[in-house]
Amino acid sequence: MQGKKDAQRVMTNDLQSNLFHLEGSIPTTPLLAPPSGDTPDVEKNETVEIASPKTLVAEIQALKEEISRSENDDQPAIRRYRNERELKPYQAELIKMQKCLEDHNKRVVILFEGRSAAGKGGAIRRITRYMNEKHYRTVALGKPSDEERSQWYFQRYISQLPRAGEVVLFDTSWYSRAMVEPVLGFCTAKEYRDFIKGVSGFENDLVRQDTILVKLYFSISRKEQQKRFDRRRIDPLRQWKLDEADIQIQEKRDEFTKMKYRMLRRTHTHHAPWTIIRSDKKHLARLNAIKAILNAVPYERVDTKLDLTTDPSVVISGAREQEIMQAQLLRNGRLEI
């Protein structure tokens, strides 16, 4: 009996050994493989690893930190993106303002004044970027012709005034005669005096006849203005902005300061006040210029939650600017009454 059991055990071991060798000899690919490209899809039994709650929390925290770093990144492209995103709700409000003016047949004139490189053009582009082109115009008049010089000074500006439902933005306006022309010798002393005496009456007539007048003066420091001029000299995309007059303006900055003070004293009135925009930081100047316009133009606001409070370090009234300038001129012994 014992011999029979030993024989069965040996047979079983032999069968297992043979089966093992048989499985090892089976080819891993079929004997008749289908043509290349026609291999049928084969379901794969893959094991999906589920992350632990701690791992998920760590990953979420890492994503939050990455987003925070990108928000605070001071790279030029990131900074430009953040600035443009911040402007968008206010640009949308400008569209609503424009629609309201159109519906009520209101006329708006916005003056952009300031020294060269103060950022007037860049502000105008941001203000008008999404506005309806059919209902606004940007006016930048060049040197007057001989015929225009023989006309009443305000005549060529009157021809550019808005129709009902339109906004006109003057990239430098009739106030060239208050600062640029007298300093650079483009007008006589009498022409300057006549302008100063008549401009307030001219603006009063505009306002009295239901034209909304907004006067913005972009103020730039000497250091920042020189920095922008230097960039224009070396940047081929900006060189067209720099001309001989800009160099003269920089050299005669103190004279321009005196003329600016005189202009504010004589033309900052109740019916046509000046709003000063500190423009060393371009984005803040543009954002606050838009807010100043929205505050100055009466219209039915739609987004009542939008904060239209201007930054007091950027937006200053014309009266306050006079006080600051008067104190500076007195300290430097250059005040002329």
Domain borders along the chain are: 81-331
Compute the C-alpha angle 335/265/195, nearest 5°: 110
Residue 108, token pair as written in the block: 């708006």
3-state secondary structure of 167: strand
The pLDDT of residue 50: 61
Tell me how far CA of residue 200 lies from CA of 75, 197, 243, in angstroms: 46, 7, 31
Residue 245, token pair as written in the block: 């007059």
Helices (H), the chain: 2-24, 53-72, 76-103, 120-128, 146-149, 155-158, 180-184, 189-208, 222-234, 244-251, 253-267, 282-296, 318-331
pLDDT mean across residues, the chain: 85
d(CA 51, CA 178): 72
Residue 121, token pair as written in the block: 């053009």
pLDDT for 276-313, tens place per residue? 999 999 999 999 999 999 999 999 887 889 999 999 99
Give the residue among 199, 203, 172, 167 at the shortest CA–CA distance from 294: 167
Tally of CB atoms within 10 A around 37: 5
3-state secondary structure of 315: strand
The pLDDT of residue 71: 59
Of 202-211, 212-221, 296-305, where does mean pLDDT reach its minimum?
A: 296-305
d(CA 191, CA 297): 32
CA-based radius of gyration for the chain: 37
Could you tell me the pLDDT band of residue 48, with boundaries at 50, 70 and 90? low
> Does the model's pTM come out above 0.85?
no
Q: Is 326 in contact with 261 (CB distance < 8 Å)?
A: yes
The pLDDT of residue 196: 97
Query: Is the pLDDT at 319 greater than 70, yes or no?
Result: yes
CATH 3.40.50.1390 fits 81-331, yes or no: no
